[in-house]
Amino acid sequence: MDTIEKIIEAAVTAPMGLPPSDVQLVVFKGKEKVREFSFDVLDYFGKISWLFSFPMIGLWRLTGKESYELIKSFAEPLVRFFAESKAKRENYLLYDAPLVMYFAASPYSDPADPYIPATYAMLAAESLGLGTCLIGSIHPMIQYGAKKLKKKWNLPPKSPAGLFVIFGYPKYKFSSGIKRTFAGLTFFKN
């Protein structure tokens, strides 16, 4: 069994909301295929970049304070950065990874369903010596549109939740994980 099959085998063992699974998996194998897909996505980002040109007060009222701040401080600069890097033929969307997997929920599944097998895939890949990274910037941008892109790449036409995972051989090896904290922790006891 090759590495990709092992990763998929681990991912399909993940628990789900209600069986059978409504999670769809799309696999992009090879740097050239990943780059082609990435640049197609970046072309789509360029087509919808006008969405970020709403008048400030209109955007605030339309999306709410938190979404507005996320769009103005993260999404808008990110789309601009991607456009600039693509013009230089650089792929900072999926980093020309040798393997990318897209886990997408169907409209009938629990929105958390694609995240659990994606996590299992990451754990399996890490155990096989690969490095992994979640890419959450693509799905929200293609969720309600991108019909031509979805058709070309056989992506689910309607998916309320999804994310991409990139896989590759890390340049640096780490002997321990990164220690993180939660934004808040409430603990109740007797």
Predicted confidence (pLDDT) per residue in 56-89, tens digit: 556 556 667 777 777 778 878 888 899 899 999 9
Domains along the chain? Answer: 3-168 (3.40.109.10)
Contacts of 170 (CB under 8 A, 6+ apart): 130, 131
Model pTM greater than 0.75? yes
Of 136, 125, 146, the C-alpha closest to 11 is 125
Cis peptide before 19 (omega within 30 of 0): no
Beta-ladder partners of 102: 26, 164
Spell out the per-residue pLDDT of the chain, length 190, in tens: 899 999 999 999 998 877 778 899 999 999 999 999 999 999 999 888 877 665 555 655 666 777 777 777 887 888 889 989 999 999 999 999 999 999 999 988 888 999 999 999 999 999 999 999 999 999 988 988 899 999 999 999 999 999 999 999 998 888 887 889 999 999 999 8
Q: At what angle do helices 115-127 and 3-11 cross, to 10 degrees?
A: 140
Is the CB of residue 145 less than 8 Å from the CB of residue 48?
yes
